[in-house]
Structure 1
Amino acid sequence: MEAIFGFINAVTGWIWGIPILVLLVGGGLILTVVIGGIQFSRFGFIMKNTAGTMFDKEEQARKKALGVSPFQAVTAALGSTIGTGNIAGVGAAIATGGPGALLWMWICGLVAMAIKFSEVTMSVRYRQKNPKGEGYLAGPFMYMRDGLHCKPLAYCFTFMSLLTLCTIGGVHSGAIADNLAPVGVSRIITCVVVVAIVVAVMLGGMKRLVNITDKMVPAMSALYVVCAVIIVGANIGRVGEALREIFIGAFTGQAAIGGFTGVAVASTIRFGLARGVFSNDAGLGLQATIHAQAAGIDHPAQQGMWAVFETFFDTIVICSLTGFMIIFSGVWQTGEAGSTLSSLAFESVLGSAGRYLCLFCLTLFAISSIISNSQGLRIQATAATNSRLAVNVLLVIFVIMIIGGCLTDMASVFVLTDFGNGIVIFLNVPSLILLSGELRRLTREWFGNNGDLKAIEAQRAAGEK
């Protein structure tokens, strides 16, 4: 067993080095070309038809009447991506790679928009109604099986994805327990509360999840954004110096005053890109599964636009604000661990209350990730096994891992999560590239007609003639 674990650990270390970054950035650039760079050229149109519709009560009510609305689907997906990586992960990137890592995180976010758009568009294109329950069978399994017509690839992907999803609940629950323990909250109490919340959401299915996340995600995001803006505003006098540290440090590497002696450019690039990947989950396909549960979708690329918004909000907005407050406040130079830098930034302006506010945000972010991941596990397991028993067994394992994360040190088990995620990305991104013909067609059809369904129908009719 030690030899097997050593092998997996070595492979994982190799995968999450240059290979995964080349695949994600290179794959993201290829997919950007395939979709015509719509995350840049049609950004205004995308924001108008996503964020611009959030406060249209009539439109939202119409979509909800059909089932899970596109907005509810994106909040459930954001519930998964906005997690500990947005707080602790950004701090770790800056602590290890310097302020310049933030610029490379932005670059990762820009190419990740193309990957996420492609994943969601293909997921909706090949989704099917769930014959044994609510929602849709969707995600990479479906577009690998029905789009590429390659069942072995689809089952291999799903096996690795389910493996990682079963263990990832423990990663987030462990983060909650680790952060609450120093302020006097028992690990047992944390475990009981987290498990109770997760089981309640599991029993309620997708509808209960979206009823929680469409309120929880905007509220927790707004709280975090307001606090971060206050901290940045209090240090606004350092804006010129901070921006110089970000842009110059991205290409030169930069030493910190205390705690570590400096970083090479390669290290800055690697950790900036890697933490961006961990934050937005590009290439893993989980959010594509959740996005495709939206009932009120008129065209696959329509929900793909929400995927662009999701990635923009997660990486460009939330991660940037975290990075800004860490750099503007100067706490990145203290030599403290990256996981604590956000808390130190909060505390530097808001005092002891800031520490608890940061802890509260981190806890909410982690819980939202756990409940969204549990639903993603259910959907993918249902699509692959078509067995209620198998799905329930996997959900029980998921809960056991949450308990383990709260109560014990499971660092060795989490290597399986990184290993599985690496394999998943190596299977998923090339699959999207192989589907580029259909992806290009749907993208041009939607954006070429500015989302006008009548014009799209007329174009299809003319093509058939």
Structure 2
Amino acid sequence: MEKFLSTVENVNNAVNGFVWGLPMLVLLVGTGILMTCLTKFFQISHFKHWVSNTIGGIFKDSHVTAHTKKNDTQISQFQSLCTALAATIGTGNIAGVAAAIASGGPGAIFWMWIVAFFGMMTNFSENVLGIYYRRRNERNEWCGGAMYYLRDGLGSKPGCKVAGSVLAVLFSIFCILASFGIGNMGQINSIAVNMNTAFGIPSIVTGILLMIIASLVIVGGLKRIASVTEKLVPFMAIIYMVGAIIVCIMHIDQLGAVFTSIIKSAFGLRAVGGGIVGSGVAMAVQWGMKRGVFSNEAGLGSSVIVHSSSNVREPVVQGMWGIFEVFADTIIVCSITAFAVLSSGLVDLETGVVTSSQVSTALVAEAFSTVFGKFGYAFIAIAILLFAFSTTLGWSQYGSKAFEYLFGRKNIKFYHIIFVVFIVFGATMDLTLAWDLSDTFNGMMAIPNLIGVLSLSGTVMQITHNYVQRVILHQNVKPMLSAIDDIQALHEKEL
């Protein structure tokens, strides 16, 4: 058995080296750059428009209710955002940022920002395609995601029918496997370890309690998950950011030095032994890109699954929520975590070397403890509990939709049962190999998804241009709302 596990580990390490290697990261960022250019820098040129129609719009009653019908089986645009954020805002925003700083120096944060900037338009494109190619299931729920625009979008191109169908199946398989690993056991294990360290709660107790709570939420389906996440996500994000901002304020005198360190380290301008370290730039770029992609998941094709369940009719409108998702996850949450760590004296801002012996979440906890004392460790343990558990809820929806695509709606309860049982395993097992495997499957989701986004980039450009003409420039042109004629006709009547 040990020999078998060793073989699996060696094979996985080789595959993982490619999946999360520099060529793949360049492809991920390159897709974002391409979509940014094709949409004429939409995230900048229409900044005011997408802000007012996303987070700015939730304060307007008309925005919340305009496309919502009584007894509708769908969820609101804000609920779809919160469910997606529940899956993306997780341990990556705490442990991932600390790992990026420890391995790539403060400069990794700059490259994380760059990845997020272009990742906004990758996520935008995924959401646009998700809405455009989605369809109804037998329960009148919207079903969309990379598997649908691969099968019906890429598959509609000459000679690509088989390729589109195969890639759709592969994406679904990788999504299901990743949902059990990174989306479930890895997150639950982080919770159990932190709760045991901070409060002495046995891992098995944590696992059983979380299994019970998760089963009550997950078995209720998407609407119950969305109902929970729309309350949990804003609460957990605000509480965490308030704590991190207090840490930053208490070290306000260091903020100028922190920003200078980030910029200098990003371009190898920090002095070490009187010279410039070129290899430091490569490490900063690689770790910043890797942790940035891992944090916001832009390009992996995961969050589009739940975004496609929104009651929105305009593909570009949900695309704008995708822009905000990346902005909130990386530009806001990850940046505040980074400034809290870097301003707390745990990193030498001249050399970029971590002076603390702590790693991962413990490094962030130590940063909080410089202000809150022992309560800082408890605060981070609770933050991990909320962040990681919400990630599990979000990924349960990703996995269930991928399972539904492969095996049909009737068998979805089978997936739900296995998913909640694995929560106990996640709390009590040593998951080093399981985490590594699921990390690989998570990255492998990106391959078919990016093929779909790149092959349909022209469609995204046309839909975006059509929206700008109609909504922003007020020109009288026929809307592009769905690739399916019946849905297109219905939406045109409802607009």
Asked if these proteins are the same fold (TM beyond 0.5), I'd say yes
Q: Number of paired residues?
A: 455
Match of 1:240 in 2: 256
Q: Summarize the alignment of residues 50-449 of structure 1 with structure 2, pairs less than 5 Å apart.
A: 50-65=54-69, 66=72, 67-131=74-138, 133=139, 135-149=141-155, 150-168=164-182, 169-183=184-198, 184-252=200-268, 264-295=280-311, 297-332=312-347, 333-335=354-356, 336-389=358-411, 391-449=412-470
Equivalent-residue separation in structure 1 for 2:479 and 2:189 (angstroms): 54
| Contact preservation (8 Å) 1:302, 1:451 | no
C-alpha displacement of 1:137: 1.5
Give 3-state SS (helix, strand or coil) of 1:159's partner.
Answer: helix
Equivalent-residue separation in structure 2 for 1:393 and 1:162 (angstroms): 13
**CA 1:410–1:431 in 2, change beyond 3 Å: closer, same or farther?**
same
Equivalent-residue separation in structure 1 for 2:250 and 2:289 (angstroms): 28
C-alpha displacement of 1:26: 1.3
- Which is worse superposed, 19-28 or 334-343? 334-343
Equivalent-residue separation in structure 1 for 2:469 and 2:41 (angstroms): 13
Equivalent-residue separation in structure 1 for 2:107 and 2:98 (angstroms): 12
Give 3-state SS (helix, strand or coil) of 1:264's partner.
Answer: helix
Give 3-state SS (helix, strand or coil) of 2:322's partner.
Answer: helix
Equivalent-residue separation in structure 1 for 2:455 and 2:480 (angstroms): 25
Match of 2:14 in 1: 10
Give 3-state SS (helix, strand or coil) of 1:204's partner.
Answer: coil
Offset from partner CA, 1:250-296 (integer Å, 9 cap, x none): 11175899xxx99721111111111101100112212101011111x
Equivalent-residue separation in structure 2 for 1:203 and 1:107 (angstroms): 39
Equivalent-residue separation in structure 2 for 1:459 and 1:159 (angstroms): 31
Equivalent-residue separation in structure 1 for 2:19 and 2:301 (angstroms): 18
**CA 1:452–1:371 in 2, change beyond 3 Å: closer, same or farther?**
farther
**CA 1:211–1:248 in 2, change beyond 3 Å: closer, same or farther?**
same
Equivalent-residue separation in structure 2 for 1:173 and 1:282 (angstroms): 23
Equivalent-residue separation in structure 2 for 1:399 and 1:357 (angstroms): 26
Using structure 1 for the length normalisation, give the TM-score: 0.93
**CA 1:342–1:383 in 2, change beyond 3 Å: closer, same or farther?**
same
What letter is aligned with 2:102?
A
| Contact preservation (8 Å) 2:89, 2:295 | yes
C-alpha displacement of 1:52: 0.8
| Contact preservation (8 Å) 1:137, 1:380 | no
What letter is aligned with 1:145?
R
Give 3-state SS (helix, strand or coil) of 2:118's partner.
Answer: helix
C-alpha displacement of 1:311: 0.6
| Contact preservation (8 Å) 1:167, 1:401 | no
Flag as ranges the 4+ runs of structure 1 deviating above 6 A: 458-461
CA root-mean-square deviation: 2.3
What letter is aligned with 1:143?
Y
C-alpha displacement of 1:456: 4.5
C-alpha displacement of 1:153: 1.5
- Which is worse superposed, 261-270 or 44-53? 261-270
| Contact preservation (8 Å) 1:446, 1:456 | no
Offset from partner CA, 1:416-451 (integer Å, 9 cap, x none): 212212221121112101001211111111123335
Larger helix share, 1 or 2: 1
C-alpha displacement of 1:231: 0.9
